[in-house]
């Protein structure tokens, strides 16, 4: 186990496939591929911090810059326990979760519970499960992208804040306690509502557009100017004809 490499993916089926590929590779390293089975931690359900401070919303310390407070999901405690044991005996850990903000966050959570400093996390990234892609990913791990991790945490916190504050409004109006307010639909609905109110409050006023052309005195007209003048005169004549026709009606 001293020369073993622990590779952690999200999906058990993916872990099985990658393990089969690596078992055929001649190497002085032993590859152990395990799955986290998605997220291992979520926002805490406790209404207090570790030091006993009461929280307005469980899992979020609003007074401390909206800091999220996480806890290991009960259903994932066995998974975490196994990964901790394997991590202790591994020479290297590669975090091969999906390359999106959720996957990046899962790698960060795994590093936290396994005691790996985020600056030392090695992310194994691939976009197809082939021998070539897997070996290339093992040779070229990258650092953890904390921007993606922060983005995922912001979404998670915002979901909780919006849902906690607005969902009771839905329940009181519609009487359906299965409904929940979303972080995207809620502000979008407000924008639409405000715009609709603006449309209803709009009062139409009559207005006129006046076009004028000014020319300096004593300046000789060009042939183009004469043609424009003729066209203007023709338009004026047509206007007079139309006005006479309207009086006949």
Full strand arrangement of the beta sheet holding 4-9: 30-35, 4-9, 92-95, 122-123
What average pLDDT score do residues 203-211 get?
A: 85
Predicted confidence (pLDDT) per residue in 118-154, tens digit: 889 999 999 999 999 999 999 999 999 999 999 999 9
3-state SS string for the chain: CCCEEEEEECCHHHHHHHHHHHHCCCCCCEEEEEECCCCCEEECCCCECCCCCECCECCEEHHHCCEECEEECHHHHHHHHHHHHHHHHCCEEEECCCCCHHHHHHHHHHHHHHCCCHHHCEECCCCCCCHHHHHHHHHCCECCCHHHHHHHHHHHHHHHHHHHHHHHHHHHHHCCCCCCCCCCHHHHHHHHHHHHHHHHHCCCCCCCCCCCCCCCCCCCCCHHHHHHHHHHHHHHHHHHHHHHHHHHC
Measure the CA–CA gap between 153 and 138, rounded to whole angstroms. Answer: 27
Higher pLDDT, 223 or 150: 150
Rounded-to-integer distance, Cα 83 and Cα 109, Å:
12
Q: What is the pLDDT of residue 221?
A: 58
162 pLDDT above the threshold of 80: yes
Question: What residue spans define the domains of the chain?
Answer: 4-40+71-148
CA distance 87 to 204: 71
Tell me the pLDDT band of 213, cut-offs 50, 70 and 90.
confident
Instruction: Write the pLDDT tens digit of every residue in 55-104.
Output: 999 999 999 999 999 999 999 999 999 999 999 999 999 999 999 999 99
- Domain covering 4-40+71-148 in this structure, CATH number: 3.40.50.140
CA 105/CA 99 separation, integer angstroms: 10
* Average pLDDT of the chain to the nearest whole number: 88
Does pLDDT of 166 surpass 90?
A: no
What pLDDT score was predicted for residue 224?
56
Instruction: Report the distance separating Cα 156 and Cα 162, nearest Å.
Output: 10
Of 77, 79, 67, which Cα lies nearest the Cα of 36? 79
Average pLDDT over residues 177-198: 86
- The pLDDT score that the predictor gives to residue 184 is 83
pLDDT in tens, 2-32: 689 999 999 999 999 999 999 998 888 999 9
């Amino acid at each position: 186990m001293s020369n073993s490499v622990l590779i952690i993916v999200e999906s058990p089926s993916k872990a099985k496939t990658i393990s089969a590929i690596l078992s055929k590779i001649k190497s002085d390293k032993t590859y152990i591929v395990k799955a986290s089975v998605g997220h291992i931690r979520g926002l805490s359900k406790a209404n207090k911090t570790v030091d006993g401070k009461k929280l307005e919303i469980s899992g979020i310390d609003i007074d401390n810059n909206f800091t999220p407070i996480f806890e290991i999901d009960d259903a994932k405690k066995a998974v975490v326990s196994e990964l901790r044991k394997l991590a202790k005996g591994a020479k290297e850990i590669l975090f091969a979760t999906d390359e999106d903000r959720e996957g990046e966050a899962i790698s960060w959570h795994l590093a936290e519970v396994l005691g790996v400093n985020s600056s030392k996390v090695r992310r194994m990234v691939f976009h197809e499960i082939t021998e070539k892609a897997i070996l290339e990913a093992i040779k070229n791990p990258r650092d953890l992208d904390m921007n993606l991790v922060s983005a995922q945490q912001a979404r998670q916190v915002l979901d909780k804040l919006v849902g906690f504050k607005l969902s009771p409004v839905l329940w009181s109006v519609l009487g359906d306690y299965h409904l929940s307010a979303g972080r995207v639909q809620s502000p979008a609905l407000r924008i639409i509502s405000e715009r609709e109110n603006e449309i209803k409050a709009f009062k139409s006023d009559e207005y006129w557009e006046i076009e004028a052309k000014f020319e300096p005195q004593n300046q000789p007209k060009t042939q183009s100017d004469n043609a424009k003048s003729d066209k203007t005169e023709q338009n004026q004549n047509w206007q007079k004809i139309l006005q006479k026709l309207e009086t006949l009606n």
